[in-house]
Amino acid sequence: MDATRQSTTGSQAETLWDGIIVGGGAAGLSAGLVLARARFATLVVDGGEPRNGPADHMHGYLTQDGLAPKEFVARGRSELGRYGGTLVRASVVEAVRTSVGTFELRLDDGRVLRSRSVLVATGLSDELPDVPGLAERWASTVHHCPHCHGYEVRGRGIAVLGNPATAMTSAVSAHLAALMRRYSSSVTFCTNGTEVGDGERRRLAAYGVRLVDAPVTRVATPAGTAGGNTVAIELGDAETVLCEAVFVAPRPVPHDAVLTQLGAAADPASGLVAVDSQGATSVPGLWAAGNVVNPRAQVVAAAGAGSTAAINMAGRLLDQELSAAVDRGRPDGGGGH
């Protein structure tokens, strides 16, 4: 197309991209696919550490149920490339919005990329309670999402570990204990310092959930069961709860540094960067999608949010080009880069 799409040398550092997407998971790759298919010059920057990377399978995504996350990402990258999208393996360490409304992103390898618009889909980290042995079993026998992993452990002994880190994690812990009861008749809620009111205790007990209040001191493999699936939840009162699966509500820590550097406003209630129904932030030309702004989004929801944001981005980019064509006083055929 014109010089705003492709530099004369074709180097990534000199190109003014139409859209740069930071994060190459479900949301980012879906957004990249939409923009590339719309024939916008599209670059995806990805550091290669997806939230669900440790998991063997993902679930709840129609037609993709049971697919390994690594295979999902590999297919997404292939599809992005098929339509001319570019992928860069790097991380963004600094982001600024210029006086003319474009964006400059500095990567950890020193390159500086420029773009007319940016979508951030960098996800989050799951901060687990500081219980020895818990992190080592993450994504094998320790899970956080019942809709992602509950069916696979149906009928087994399940323990839910309370997380008193925040009011939200405490509330989610109790909800998680109730929800897991749908998958098993043997559910123990180790409250682990979370506040559970009398009314909620009665509801959980009536629903068949056993509550224990002693603090959790360690998650271990019982003696004589090395290599098996049995997990021992050791409590401060010397009791041990044996189970085959553990669920916990982590504290979500969004990877929102790029968004905050660019001045995106936060929602005062949640503290997360605020986006509208199309994924747009308070900064013109800046969008966000997936777990970075919605910690509860499953893979399918993150992909949908990325697609929705990219369609909105395409509309804004097109509007800019229409205005530029009027200013030049001549037709601009568009389409292609």
Q: What confidence tier does 10 reach under pLDDT thresholds 50, 70, 90?
A: very low
Task: Find out whether 287 and 120 touch, Cβ atoms under 8 Å.
Answer: yes
Q: What confidence tier does 9 reach under pLDDT thresholds 50, 70, 90?
A: very low
pLDDT at 228 over 70: no
For residue 323, the tally of other CB atoms under 10 A from its CB is: 10
For residue 330, the tally of other CB atoms under 10 A from its CB is: 7
**pLDDT value, residue 223:** 74
Over range 25-37, report the average pLDDT. Answer: 98
> What tokens does 111 get?
């390159």
Q: Which tens digit of pLDDT belongs to each residue from 173-190?
A: 999 999 999 999 999 999
Task: Find out whether 141 and 222 touch, Cβ atoms under 8 Å.
Answer: no
C-alpha dihedral sign at 160, 162, 163, 169: positive
pLDDT at 224 over 90: no
Q: Which tens digit of pLDDT belongs to each residue from 70-91?
A: 999 999 999 999 999 999 999 9
Alpha carbon separation from 245 to 34, 142, 186 (Å, rounded): 38, 6, 11
**pLDDT value, residue 56:** 86
**pLDDT value, residue 330:** 67
The C-alpha atoms of residue 137 and residue 159 are separated, in whole angstroms, by 14
Q: Which tens digit of pLDDT belongs to each residue from 299-328?
A: 999 999 999 999 999 999 999 999 999 998
Segment (H or E) for 19: strand 19-22
55-59, 94-98, 158-162: least confidently modelled range: 55-59
Task: Find out whether 256 and 265 touch, Cβ atoms under 8 Å.
Answer: no
Q: What confidence tier does 6 reach under pLDDT thresholds 50, 70, 90?
A: very low
Instruction: Give 138-160 as a 3 state SS string.
Output: ECCCEECCHHHHCHHHCCCCEEE
Q: What is the mean pLDDT of the chain?
A: 92
Q: Is 27 exposed, middle or buried (0-12, 13-18, 19+ CB in 10 A)?
A: buried
> For the chain, where are the alpha helices, taking DSSP H only?
26-37, 69-82, 146-149, 167-180, 198-207, 257-261, 299-328
Task: Find out whether 194 and 162 touch, Cβ atoms under 8 Å.
Answer: yes
**pLDDT value, residue 335:** 57
